[in-house]
Amino acid sequence: MLNVTYPLNERFLDNGLRVIVSPDPVAPAVAVNLWYAVGSGDEQPGASGFAHLFEHLMFSGTEHVAVGEHLAAIEAVGGQVNATTDMDRTNYFETVPPHAVELALWLEAERMRGLAVTQTNLDTQREVVKEEKRQRIDNVPYGDLFGLLLQHNFPEHHPYAHETIGSMADLDAASIEMVRAFYETWYRPDNATLVLCGAIETDKGFQLAERYFGQIPNPTTPRGVRKLPPPLPPLTGVPRLAVRRDVPLPDLSLTWLVPPAGTPEDAALDVTAAVLTAGQSGRLYRDLIRTRQAADSIVAFGLGLSRGTSLFAIGGRPRPGHTLAELEEVVLTQLTDLAAAGPSEAELERVLANAARISFTSLASVDERADAINSAALLLGDPERINTRFAEVSAVTPADVARVCATWLAPERRAVLEYEVDTAVEETALTGEVNA
């Protein structure tokens, strides 16, 4: 079994900022990776979308950095910069040549110390988010699929019951006072983890972290309290939801509530997803696409959520002449077979070899490695999990796969979401009529 151990050195500054330095002397760059422990799962009712809004607001400037200068400064030295938001965290990251690491740290410290949360910036970024929603969700086929899956599986007010982009009505109602309070509650040293990964020595990394972040005080308001609900019970009664949309093909999504990221069951579920759909040798790919030619696509995956409960999904689209019911029957048959006997040794060997290739190829990049270190620290509770995760996956046995299929992916514990093609839309398009 492949075994790569990345050095991890950890320290907390006096203000609570967690700093992890992972030196790599042969790397060509340094990844500056800052995670705040706030995502859409931490939003209060009536304030959905705030976490994602701040992903945009954080590029709106500070007292010393004008709007747009953060990106321009990093790109001017040959680096790259970006940010993402999900249900469990918001991350900001730069990958820069070694000589520019202090610039990246200064820029990140600037917006942690004093972001320009002004009415003008709020109004501007609110409109940016609305346009993003129109482009990514409202005006693309299946754009609302993920949001429907969350609503269909998680109870109202659960941290995972709504999409990260949030409600536009909530954003419209957001006052500058509400937004500033969100910033002070979550964007602070004692709610952040800084990872420096790549061509930087450990002592130098800690010195620079102290220089740029050490004097940033925490706000006088209390730090945000994360929502940590207990695990949800399995679904019962096979809840079904069917929607009609202007889409090219019907779509089937089967979902199950499963244990969270980092558990032994999570590793076995990842292997199960790969056995089913990874590559052309996956069981469902062979059955539905190669043999029956009944599906246009088929995929299985876990969301890797960390708070008590996660979600496992299998989705596919039938080809013309085939039905959603046919796809559902094949999926359930394959899961029943895996629950009875597990995968063969050959299947498991193939899956683990592919997992090793994907894992170590990804971690070879300092920016992806830094993100994985921060993920292990925040979501799994220990940055060292980056060094043990593949061993955990490699330890999965056929019996483990059979057990999680029988226990967590039982047919009676599924939920079903179906997209049906809106034939009225098709007929309107054929007659040349235009809907208002």
Annotate 151-212 with DSSP letters as a single string.
Answer: HHHS-TT-TTSS-TT--HHHHHH--HHHHHHHHHHHSSGGGEEEEEEES--HHHHHHHHHHH
Q: Residue 297's pLDDT is what?
A: 95
Find out whether 332 and 412 touch, Cβ atoms under 8 Å: no
Phi/psi of residue 312, each to 5°? -115, 135
402 and 301, same structural domain?
A: yes
In a domain, 71, yes or no: yes
Read off the DSSP letter of residue 288: I
- pLDDT score at 29: 98
pLDDT band at 353 (very low <50, low <70, confident <90, very high): very high
Give, for 10, the enclosing helix (H) or strand (E).
Answer: strand 9-12
- For residue 386, the enclosing domain spans 240-428
151 & 245 share domain: no
Q: Give the C-alpha distances (Å, rounded to integers) separating 257 from 138, 149, 150, 152, 166.
A: 27, 11, 11, 11, 22
Please report whether residue 372 resides in a domain: yes
In a domain, 1, yes or no: no
Q: What pLDDT digit, counting tens, does each position of 181-226 carry?
A: 999 999 999 999 999 999 999 999 999 999 999 999 999 999 999 9
What was the pLDDT predicted at 429? Answer: 35
CATH number at residue 356: 3.30.830.10
How high does pLDDT run on average in the chain?
94
Q: What is the pTM of this model?
A: 0.93
User: 310 and 205 in one domain?
Assistant: no
287-341 pLDDT, tens digit per residue, is 999 999 999 999 999 999 999 999 999 999 999 999 999 999 999 999 999 999 9
Per-residue confidence band for 424, with pLDDT thresholds at 50, 70 and 90: confident
220 within some domain: no
Q: What is the pLDDT of residue 2?
A: 59
Share of residues in the chain with pLDDT > 90 (%): 94
Mean pLDDT of 6-24: 98
Residue 227 has pLDDT above 80, yes or no: yes
CB 367 within 8 A of CB 31: yes
Q: What is the pLDDT of residue 101?
A: 98
Question: Same structural domain for residues 259 and 400?
Answer: yes
Q: What is the average pLDDT across 99-109? A: 98
Could you tell me the pLDDT band of residue 99, with boundaries at 50, 70 and 90?
A: very high
In a domain, 408, yes or no: yes
Looking at the structure of the chain, the number of domains it has is 2
Distance CA 309, CA 155 (A): 12
Mean pLDDT of 50-56: 96
Does 354 map to a domain?
A: yes
Q: Are residues 246 and 185 in the same domain?
A: no
Q: In this predicted model, what pLDDT tens digit does every residue of 59-68 receive, in sequence order?
A: 999 999 999 9
Q: Is 227 inside any structural domain? A: no
The answer, yes or no, to whether residue 431 has pLDDT greater than 60, is no
Give residue 266's pLDDT: 95
Question: Is residue 148 located within the same domain as residue 291?
Answer: no
> Taking 80 as the threshold, does the pLDDT of residue 425 lie above it?
no
Claim to verify: residue 273 and residue 373 sit in the same structural domain: yes
Residue 65 lies inside a defined structural domain of this protein: yes
